[in-house]
Structure 1
Amino acid sequence: MQNSKTKNIIFTGLFAAILCVCSQISIPTPFGIPFTLQTFGVALCGYILGAKRGALTVLVYVLLGAVGLPVFAGFIGGFQKLFGATGGFIFGFFAASALCGLGTDKKAVTGIILGVFGILICHFCGVLQYSLVTSNPFISSFLTVSGMFLVKDIISVILAYFIALPIKKAVSRF
């Protein structure tokens, strides 16, 4: 039993670190919101670790950022980021990771659909918070912070699903 707890702690920490790194890999856009690998990292955590541990990994990531460590995209940290214009996406990572985790042992189509649904929830949370914080209409907010990123995030989920398969198999031996 102790070995299992130790393994869970190690993998949660390892994947929180992977999520931190994925958050920093970004391509700037003229709109001020970069393309990052955050959603890929979130989906990978869920697909490899499962719903519960994937969401726990996101919690570790969020807590690290909340206390000020620069783990959010653009090497930003701090509690204010969570309640700023784009913080809703960070809160949406919980649903995305958990739903990917629910799809981890399912057939590819089901696993990917669950992951895409998680990303849609993530984007809804992000657009809603952006709309509320900036006082922009929901549709305008969607076009500003979500529309152009949605396709990239869906592709990220699909890639994460297929990349997670051999990793999960290798990790299961430990």
Structure 2
Amino acid sequence: MKISTKTIVTVGMFTAVLAVLSILQIPMPTGVPITLQTFAMALCGYVLGWQLGISATLLYIVLGTVGVPIFAGMSAGPGVLFGYTGGFIFGFIFLTLLCGISVHRKNAAVKIVLGLAGLIICHLLGAIQYAVLAKITLGASLVAVSLPYLVKDVISVVGAYLVAIAVRKALHAGNILQDAKAA
């Protein structure tokens, strides 16, 4: 893959989108807030594909880990990554990856199923890390930090896929991404 200035700027712009949609939050009693992160990560993968999507996601994670306040609620630092919600952040990599892998598939249902598979991995990693740190069972963790968010996150993945169709068409029309044909 050729890395051009346009590619670098596009990855940077999507990293900014991830940051903005992550900062907005509704706090929850479990400590896992409601955010638009799932939508943002899925959109990133569905629009950019797996390589650029992972690049934007990893840049987001690195920036947040080194102290830029771009995680949920403007939090930052390695304490977030290795804290109660960090498993979800690690899971974003798989969500973006599977949404990105789906880009060149023709069947819309396959694209959505791949995105939902990424969502399941994300939730599982989040619940595992939460369970370990909270010293509770995985089942209790899934009930506490996955189940309450599942419907919203499924809607987020499907919504991101639908929005990505229009975004990819616009990026193709603007010659911003060479492979950005309709999602």
Tell me which interval the TM-score lies in, with the shorter structure as reference length. over 0.9
Residue 127 of structure 1 aligns with an amino acid whose one-letter code is A
Q: For 1:24-43, what aligned pairs fall within 5 Å after superposition?
A: 24-43=23-42
Residues 106-155 of structure 1: CA deviation (Å, up to 9, x unaligned):
22101000000000000010001111111111011111111111111111
Asked if the contact 2:32–2:85 (Cα under 8 Å) also holds between the matched residues in 1, the reply is no
Please say if 1:61 is aligned against 2:60: yes
Q: Please list every run of 5 or more consecutive structure 2 residues that lacks an aligned counterpart in the other structure.
A: 177-183
Counterpart of 2:7?
Answer: 8
State the percentage of identical aligned residues: 46
Residues 16-41 of structure 1: CA deviation (Å, up to 9, x unaligned):
00000000222233444321100100
Please say if 1:136 is aligned against 2:133: no
The 10-residue stretch of structure 1 (15-24 or 164-173) with the greater mean CA deviation from structure 2: 164-173
Residues 71-118 of structure 1: CA deviation (Å, up to 9, x unaligned):
000110001111111100000000000100011232210100000000
Counterpart of 1:85?
Answer: 84
Counterpart of 1:169?
Answer: 169
Secondary structure in 2 aligned to 1:114? helix
Question: 4+ residue runs of structure 1 moved beyond 4 angstroms?
Answer: none
Paired with 2:51 and 2:121, the residues of 1 have a C-alpha distance of: 17
Calculate the TM-score normalised by the size of structure 2: 0.90
Residues 46-75 of structure 1: CA deviation (Å, up to 9, x unaligned):
000001111111100000000011100011
Q: Could you say what the CA RMSD is over the residues aligned between the two structures, in angstroms?
A: 1.4
Counterpart of 1:119?
Answer: 119
Residue 153 of structure 2 aligns with an amino acid whose one-letter code is D
Q: Please list every run of 5 or more consecutive structure 1 residues that lacks an aligned counterpart in the other structure.
A: none
Paired with 2:79 and 2:28, the residues of 1 have a C-alpha distance of: 23
TM-aligned CA distance change 1:29 to 1:85, over 3 Å: closer
